Structure 1
Amino acid sequence: MAEVQPPAADGVLAEAVAQPSPEAAELATAAAAVEAAAVTTEVAALARLYGEPLLKLPNDLYIPPDALEIFLEAFEGPLDLLLYLIRKQNFNILDIPMAQLTLQYLKYVDQIRLSNLELAAEYLLMAAMLIEIKSRMLLPQRQSELDIESDDPRAELVRRLLEYEQIKLAAYDLNTIPQLDRDFVRTQIFIEQSLVPTWPDVEPIDLQQAWLDVLKRAKLTQHHKISREELSVREHMTGILRRLQSSRFVEFADLFDGAGGVPVVVVNFVALLELAKETLIEITQAEPFAPIYVRLAYSPA
């Protein structure tokens, strides 16, 4: 049987389909290069920021690796660390398992020795004390020591821990008390005072004290002469009004010259009270403990 060969035109078409054009080959090469560059960039990128690869660290945001240290617990000293380990493991503070406590304590000390040797010195001293207590508990006791009940090597440590816990709780209670400028502030209110001066009112106790001073001076100038004299309160009231008409203010003590002794001073004082009762005079005072002045009362027109 003879072979049937395809026509020449179809063979040319098949060869053209099998071999791509130069433009298509260039596009495929470019796509492969872009994909390879993307893979290389993705591998070299340190991070991605908003979806874009970050090839190098920025200078203003660089954080040294040593600064990325996290301290989950902060302790104020060896006793604070021991108390934390005891409470965390629910150990009986009166019967401390020294082996477990010492092991956990030494792990923490090894961590802080790597960063701060000066801070670890105090903790190393406590570690030595824990090891000493543990060694004393492991040593066999003599028969004489068994007959006499010896002290527990942990007793001193327990006493210090209990005292420290008590002081720490007291400090916490004190810290919960509201403090000025931390939990609250004092309010300040500014009040505008009137430009018109306001004179304080004369209290009865001030008038009484002034009267006692006048009475004391009158007793110093009195004459020991027995006589009977009729004194008129109205007469003294008139005399006080006449004296006040010539002066704007008269000091309280100046209204009593002391002449006539205590009876005249008493009647003059009663006359002054009657005038004040009838609102014919005013008794004023510039400020507390200042002299008391008397003046005529001015009624509004």
Structure 2
Amino acid sequence: MSAKSNPTVYNIETEAFSGPLQLLLELIEKEELAITDVSLGAVTGSYLKHFEGGEVSSEHLADFLVVATWLLYLKSRELLPDIKAEEEEGAEGLAGQLRLYQIFMEAAKGIEEGYRMAASVHGRPKAVLPPPPAPVWPEGLVPSSLESAFQGLLNILRPFLALRETSMERVRSVGERMEELRAMIGTRARLAWRDLTAGAKSKMEVVVSFLALLELVKQRAVQTKQARAFQDILIDRL
């Protein structure tokens, strides 16, 4: 990638080195290039010449200061080999801070790029639906005609909607009818079926009496006899 295609990458032209500034720092750190052979003045001059005639952003200037400060630190160690331990520890702390700053700068670039890409993403616009069609009413429709049509419909349905008023008669239960039959058979040794149903007011009472009789036969309280089909049933007490 050329320096012109990426303004953060610029070449340094000195007698001892020619190439990107970041590469110069890496070579010195790997001891593949002696720091004493590098002129910091030439490095600074080459940097300023690269941006000559144009505005230098604060980001590019901060990148250069990080690298240049690190180069200055390395060169001071070479020129002052008798540096004290405290000063060396302080220099190492400075170097760590410079490296940490460089890491933060790279992370900031990544975050900025992420925001830039997110800003370029657009959601699908909300679909605009056409308005619903207006209702089409039959010609000549007026409120009075609607009322008369509705009234005619009610007249047709009125017979089906009317509820018949009926009185609910109380029907004795099978248990109650069994007690009545026990009392009757207790006073008379034999009864006829017609005697049990003579006073019935409805078919339901006849059915209840028949079920009560079957239950008494089941409990072996009475026995029944019928000479021929369709003749009266005789009920004897056991």
- TM above 0.5: no
Highest CA radius of gyration, 1 or 2?
Answer: 2
TM range (shorter): 0.3 to 0.5
